[in-house]
């Protein structure tokens, strides 16, 4: 199984790289600037196109859209959340997902039982509204909506799409007080990837396989 992971150089992406490699997958990891990974800036169409060109039509069995940022953590409503921060965060968390799927769609169509995993968050759910983190919540909700609609359009092509909350994970983004390790999240997400198919395309689930409220 050949799997491409965006943002594979740290956190959940790096743990997924290790877990899927241990399960005998051929993993192509990407990062914006790291010598051990394929270069990819998901916010730059030219960078995404260059990655597709380097793959040269090689089949992909799975694409994991993991690259993400949380720039507005700790911002105050009174004077925070500048417009450029909205643009920068959406460029990675939403537009970057779309550009990656769009550019690599020909490769996925050549894969075996191809599937797309979009790493969203429970903060995407409109049923959870504790306030704050407006940009991150909005961007992850947009990624959820994007994934659901992609699932509809890609199902006739035989490509399944799943959207997942990876858990509250002990990463730079999640912090040291988070509930689970990257390795636990990666094991659960790898199981979800294996279970993803035409029958559950468009699902929004937690890392451990529980349906998540939209």
Write out the catalytic residue numbers: 136
Pairwise CA distance, residues 117 & 159, whole Å: 11
Yes or no: say if 146 and 97 are a contact pair by the CB < 8 Å rule: yes
DSSP string, 183-211: HHHHHHHHHHHHH-SGGGTT-EEETTS-B
Pairwise CA distance, residues 195 & 197, whole Å: 6
Q: What backbone torsions phi and psi does residue 66 show, to the nearest 5 degrees?
A: -105, -25
Pairwise CA distance, residues 196 & 62, whole Å: 10
């Amino acid at each position: 199984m050949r799997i491409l992971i965006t943002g594979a150089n740290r956190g959940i992406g790096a743990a997924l790289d290790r877990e899927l490699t241990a399960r005998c997958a051929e993993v192509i990891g990407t990062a914006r600037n790291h010598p051990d990974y394929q270069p990819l800036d998901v916010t730059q169409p030219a960078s995404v196109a260059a990655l597709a060109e380097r793959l040269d039509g090689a089949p992909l069995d799975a694409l994991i859209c993991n690259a993400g940022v949380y720039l507005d953590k700790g911002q105050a409503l009174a004077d925070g959340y500048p417009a450029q921060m909205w643009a920068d965060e959406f460029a990675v968390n939403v537009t970057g997902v779309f550009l990656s799927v769009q550019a690599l769609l020909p490769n996925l169509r050549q894969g075996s039982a191809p599937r797309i995993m979009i790493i969203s968050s429970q903060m995407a759910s409109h049923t959870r509204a504790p306030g704050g983190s407006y940009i991150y919540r909005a961007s992850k909700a947009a990624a959820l909506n994007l994934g659901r609609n992609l699932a509809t359009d890609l199902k006739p092509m035989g490509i399944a799409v799943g959207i997942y909350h990876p858990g509250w994970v002990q990463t730079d983004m999640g912090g040291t007080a988070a509930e689970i390790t990257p390795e636990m999240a990666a094991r659960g997400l790898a199981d979800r990837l294996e279970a993803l198919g035409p029958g559950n395309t468009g699902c929004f689930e937690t890392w451990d396989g529980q349906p998540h409220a939209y």
